[in-house]
Structure 1
Amino acid sequence: MSSEAGGAAASSASAPPPPRRTPLERTADAAEELYRLRDTFFPRDPVEKAAALRALADDALAVLDSLPPEQRKTPQQRAVYEFLRGKILDVFPDYHKEAEDHLSKAVKLNPSLVDAWLCLGNCIWKKGDLDSAMNCFSLALSKGADKKILCQLSMLERSMAQGSEGQAQVVEESIKHAKEAVMLDIRDGNSWYNLGNAYLTSFFVSGSWDHMKLHHSVKAYQNAEKDETTKCNPDLYYNCATADKYLENYERALRGFEAAALKDPGLGADTEVQKIISLLDKLDSAMKGQLRSKRLASSVSSLSEVNIKSSHKKATIGILSEGLNKTVAVLGKVILLIRHDNIAPMYYLTCDLDQSYFILSVYGLRNEAIKEGDRVALLDPYYRILDISWKEQRYQFKSIRVDFPEQILVNEKAPPPHHVVRASIHAHNKP
């Protein structure tokens, strides 16, 4: 045993030392470390992060400046030098003209330098020139499929979709490119995260409030979380919690927002936690505060006279099964509008013919579309018994969710077009 150990020691002693890394190689490592710090360091005070990035960037530039002139003579060497200088200068959130100048030189010297096109696109994006940024990413893709480029292109398309006429179509392109990135490396957490964002954005801009998009989104975020390098991204937890919130998976949403708040206090996720708790308190109070009365019985009795021109079978909440109830229509009386802090959905305390109370959540309609005292017919209702536990507090109530305006009649009439609404994009989306 001892002779084997001695032999190993002798062998180790005679092994040649590893080759010294060149200043360019060391700068490339420093640039990677710089971006790792940007993406994983979230102190409570943003000034602390800015100072840390500035110090690390200065160190990286010092290493780059130690490169002997003879090692940046050829166009290829100079291209890498310009690329690294531009990449280091562009680590900060605001646009930096000097970074653009260096990155532009890099791609002119070596148009095949894909990473330089990627950085140049991101840099130009920051100054608001989205078309030129798109051009950079497209040129980079012309050199060959690349998951990083596809993800940035997908993100950029979502930014371009905001306020555009064909935004739903542009977001579908974003989903397509996000899927292509995932297919190139199904273990890459960032690609899955980007796909989750694309689906989440599609939910908001399509105007159809298709909750399947939210299910796809959550699944993509869960796959992203399997990658250790992505687990440190607070936006992953924030956006997944946002999807869960709109799926009315409130307990999971609370856990997600709490995780995001712990990872990055500056995200405002703790405010989202308070919003959900406030909402649940209001829903719980509305359910508990209503007492049966003769007045209610009289009010609800008018529902029996409602005639809906549809093949749907009239039902009360007591006979619904959990999930989607096709070919069924629940008739209800709106007792109370429950005001809260989010754009959507609208929440109403509602009562059916059996005088059973439930919470009605309605997507895609303005709050003036349904008023207290209105009769509603809920077609193909999505029914759940919500049971949420959080910090020693428990909330339990019955719920019907209406995803599309086509699923509801108000006083036996379809909602007019001016009462149909789209929401703005909510996924955290930044270059």
Structure 2
Amino acid sequence: MMAEVGEKKECEIQNRLKELVDQLFNFRDHYFETHSVENAARKQYDVEHEMQKTISQMEEIEDVWKSKAFFLMLKGKALNVTPNYSQKAEEALSKAVKLDPGLVEGWNQLGEVYWKKMDVASAKTCFLGALNHCKNKVSLRNLSMVMRQQRSQDSEEKSRNIIDSVKQAKEAVQMDPQDGTSWYILGNAYLSLFFCTGQNPKISQQALNAYMQAEKVDKTASSNPDLHLNRATLCKYEERYEEALDGFSRASCLEPSWSEPVMREQQLLDYLGKLCVLLVNKGKIRGKRLQNMLSNLTPVLLGQYSGSGGLELKPLSSLQPGRNTDCVVLGRVVFSLMPEDRVPFTFGLVDAKGSCYAVMVYNMVESWGVLIADSVTIPQPLLKQHNVQHKGQIFTFQSIRVESPVQLLVNGKPQGASTQASATVTYRPQSE
């Protein structure tokens, strides 16, 4: 009878402790349901205040429970609620899993602590250890993040790690399709796969769909600044500039102390502003010099795309949005522009009729470029029309997207395979 009373009391205490920690994480995750975005700068302070209050309430429990693995795990979890590494959290969680190696949540929390500590190897060991005890979505999606962050000089190994990362994230989603965090992690995995495997548009869409699904099934996902930044990064690469700017802006509103979204938003605004001015002014090349540059745009510069069976030379103004498969365009470079992140290499192209369009080249080595007055031939040009509006600014222009310099002729000469390189991406992964 005494044993039953003791077990009942222990169960009641465990439930109370778990309730306290769940309330703490609910306060963090649903912060913007009870606070306006204008309070975003206070969020971390408020969460830390709630954390200290929770720890104090937990420590009011009788001393005998403080040595229990479950208590230590919950205390470590509470200390781990902030985005920063906590040594106290590591100490509590390490003791918890030593006392009870089968404590799956303890291993997951300890793995996240190591992740914040930038100790990727130890984080991976923890998540694998948790999975050895029980297959669970938290370990799977965290392992997905770890796989993408493993450093490797071997490109094939790096690709395998990213493919495995997608696999782990998919499994996490399959275990609970209503978990927005798992969908967000899957979106990040697809984002990495997109840049690792040749920028397949299908994979890009899978990433965007995963981010959209995260917001659909979990309203707290809309308050995740990392999701907005990572999606904006992909939108920028896809030349969906208005969505990219909105995403960077939203991320900075949700986390005002985070300088990167503000910087990226301003860099993109500066790039678009400079580009539009250069296009209107044709790189400030006018009069006789521009006429001389355009006067000798001869068919010989079309190379293999001229003659019988070749593509039809058309003026820039005749292009239709999308891929123009039946034609080739030819013009002279009047300016070049490199964004802060060096992607895409951008130049202005003026054709014989005087139209000036932007040409955006991706996947080029750093040493590749074109000079003012170079002729450039673009077969089957992919035209995009941009009308970007953001915070009172409007940017309207036409551009041609080129996935690799290998697709171009410069001064009538093909660009060799050595001019091509893979794109890279910078985004921020997020733990629980």
1:35 aligned onto 2:25: yes
Structure 1 pair 275–187 and aligned structure 2 pair: CA distance change class (3 A): same
Contact kept, 8 Å, 1:211 with 1:247, in 2: the verdict is no
Counterpart selection for 2:61 from 35, 56, 67: 67
1:404 aligned onto 2:399: no
Shift of 1:20: 12
1:216 aligned onto 2:206: yes
Structure 1 pair 392–63 and aligned structure 2 pair: CA distance change class (3 A): closer
Shift of 1:305: 1.7
Counterpart selection for 2:182 from 178, 183, 191: 191
1:127 aligned onto 2:117: yes
Alignment match, 1:374 = 374
Percent identity among equivalent residues? 31
Provide the C-alpha distance between the structure 2 equivalents of 1:158 and 1:383, rounded to a whole number of angstroms: 34
1:270 aligned onto 2:262: yes
Q: Deviations over 1:201-257 (max 9, x none)?
A: 333444x34444333322222222212121111222222222111111111222222
Q: Deviations over 1:67-121 (max 9, x none)?
A: 3356578xxxx22112112212333444334422332332233333221111111
Shift of 1:328: 4.5
Determine helix, strand or coil for the equivalent of 2:297.
helix
Provide the C-alpha distance between the structure 2 equivalents of 1:273 and 1:97, rounded to a whole number of angstroms: 35
Counterpart selection for 2:225 from 228, 234, 247: 234
Alignment match, 1:55 = 49
Provide the C-alpha distance between the structure 1 equivalents of 2:47 and 2:390, rounded to a whole number of angstroms: 38
Provide the C-alpha distance between the structure 2 equivalents of 1:203 and 1:156, rounded to a whole number of angstroms: 18
Counterpart selection for 2:101 from 111, 119, 123: 111
Q: Deviations over 1:302-342 (max 9, x none)?
A: 24221433676243334433223346443332211024323
Structure 1 pair 145–319 and aligned structure 2 pair: CA distance change class (3 A): farther
Equivalent AA in structure 1 for residue 167 of structure 2: K
Counterpart selection for 2:300 from 298, 305, 312: 305
Shift of 1:152: 0.9
Structure 1 pair 183–374 and aligned structure 2 pair: CA distance change class (3 A): farther
Counterpart selection for 1:279 from 266, 271, 283: 271
Alignment match, 1:325 = 324
Alignment match, 1:15 = none
Equivalent AA in structure 2 for residue 313 of structure 1: L
Structure 1 pair 377–225 and aligned structure 2 pair: CA distance change class (3 A): same
Structure 1 pair 217–47 and aligned structure 2 pair: CA distance change class (3 A): closer
1:426 aligned onto 2:417: no
Determine helix, strand or coil for the equivalent of 1:341.
coil
Alignment match, 2:69 = 79
Alignment match, 1:146 = 136
Contact kept, 8 Å, 2:194 with 2:204, in 1: the verdict is yes
Contact kept, 8 Å, 1:314 with 1:331, in 2: the verdict is no
Equivalent AA in structure 1 for residue 293 of structure 2: S
Determine helix, strand or coil for the equivalent of 1:308.
helix
Structure 1 pair 21–105 and aligned structure 2 pair: CA distance change class (3 A): closer
Determine helix, strand or coil for the equivalent of 1:248.
coil
Equivalent AA in structure 2 for residue 150 of structure 1: L
Structure 2: stretches of 5+ with no match in the other structure: 1-8
Shift of 1:360: 0.4
Q: Deviations over 1:153-194 (max 9, x none)?
A: 111122215766432332222222222222223332212211
1:246 aligned onto 2:216: no
Equivalent AA in structure 2 for residue 401 of structure 1: R
Provide the C-alpha distance between the structure 2 equivalents of 1:190 and 1:93, rounded to a whole number of angstroms: 15
Shift of 1:359: 0.6
Provide the C-alpha distance between the structure 1 equivalents of 2:426 and 2:242, rounded to a whole number of angstroms: 20
Structure 1: stretches of 5+ with no match in the other structure: 1-18
Contact kept, 8 Å, 2:184 with 2:214, in 1: the verdict is yes
Provide the C-alpha distance between the structure 1 equivalents of 2:153 and 2:113, rounded to a whole number of angstroms: 22
Provide the C-alpha distance between the structure 2 equivalents of 1:392 and 1:220, rounded to a whole number of angstroms: 30
> What RMSD in Å do the two structures reach over aligned CA positions?
3.2
When normalised by structure 2's length, the TM-score is 0.83
Structure 1 pair 180–315 and aligned structure 2 pair: CA distance change class (3 A): farther
Structure 1 pair 388–116 and aligned structure 2 pair: CA distance change class (3 A): same
